[in-house]
């Protein structure tokens, strides 16, 4: 029997203020908060089956006992990177949207003729990227299987 993992369900960022971060991601991307736990955690729905977890920095260094079991400790520090899909045709509109929110685009990258990325920072200094949504699929389709 071969086991496979098929997608990333959730990913997380560690932030100084979970409410500030949740408000920012909602105002920029319209991600809706679906779960909140004290000043420790906010869960935002990115897509039907994708969640962005915003943990308060250093608030998860101790294991957490839940009624269903133990959640192991975890944390992160320094600027992380996260990317969200966009349609390449919308890149210019995204730039205007970011400018309207007073967010500077730090870098623009062209990945060949078809794909683009826009990089900017969230309030905690994380590198946020908008990338052509089919960029990685296009690379995977063109690559040889790993041996």
User: For residue 16, which of 122, 120, 130 has the smallest C-alpha distance?
Assistant: 122
* Euclidean distance between CA atoms 91 and 109, whole angstroms: 11
Q: pLDDT tens digit string along 75-117?
A: 999 999 999 999 999 999 999 999 999 999 999 999 988 899 9
Q: Going by C-beta distance under 8 Å and a sequence separation of 6 or more, which residues neighbour residue 68? A: none
**Cβ atoms within 10 Å of 131's Cβ, excluding its own:** 20
Are 77 and 90 in contact, with CB atoms under 8 Å apart? no
Q: What is the pLDDT of residue 140?
A: 87
> Token match 């995977």: residue?
140
Q: What is the pLDDT of residue 146?
A: 58
Q: Domain map of the chain by residue range?
A: 7-61, 78-147
Percent of the chain with pLDDT over 90: 85
Domains 7-61 and 78-147 share a fold: yes
**Cβ atoms within 10 Å of 42's Cβ, excluding its own:** 24
Torsion angles phi and psi, residue 70, rounded to 5 = -95, 130
Q: pLDDT tens digit string along 51-75?
A: 999 999 999 999 999 999 999 999 9
pTM of the model: 0.91
**Cβ atoms within 10 Å of 31's Cβ, excluding its own:** 22
Q: What is the pLDDT of residue 7?
A: 85
Q: pLDDT tens digit string along 25-52?
A: 999 999 999 999 999 999 999 999 999 9
**Cβ atoms within 10 Å of 143's Cβ, excluding its own:** 8
The CATH fold of domain 7-61:
2,3-Dihydroxybiphenyl 1,2-Dioxygenase; domain 1 (3.10.180)
The CATH fold of domain 78-147:
2,3-Dihydroxybiphenyl 1,2-Dioxygenase; domain 1 (3.10.180)
């Amino acid at each position: 029997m071969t086991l496979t993992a098929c997608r990333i369900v959730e990913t997380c960022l560690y932030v100084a203020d979970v409410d500030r971060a949740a408000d920012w991601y909602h105002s920029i991307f319209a991600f809706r908060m679906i779960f909140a736990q004290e000043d420790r955690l906010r869960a935002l729905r990115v897509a039907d089956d994708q969640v962005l977890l915003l943990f308060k920095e250093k608030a998860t260094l101790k294991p957490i006992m839940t009624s269903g079991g133990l959640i192991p400790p975890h944390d992160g520090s320094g600027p992380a990177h996260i990317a969200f899909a966009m349609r390449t045709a919308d890149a210019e509109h995204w730039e205007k949207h970011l400018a309207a929110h007073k967010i500077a685009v730090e870098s623009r990258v062209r990945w060949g003729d078809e794909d683009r990325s826009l990089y900017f920072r969230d309030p905690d200094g994380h590198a946020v990227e908008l990338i052509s949504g089919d960029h990685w699929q296009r690379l995977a389709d063109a690559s040889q299987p790993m041996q």
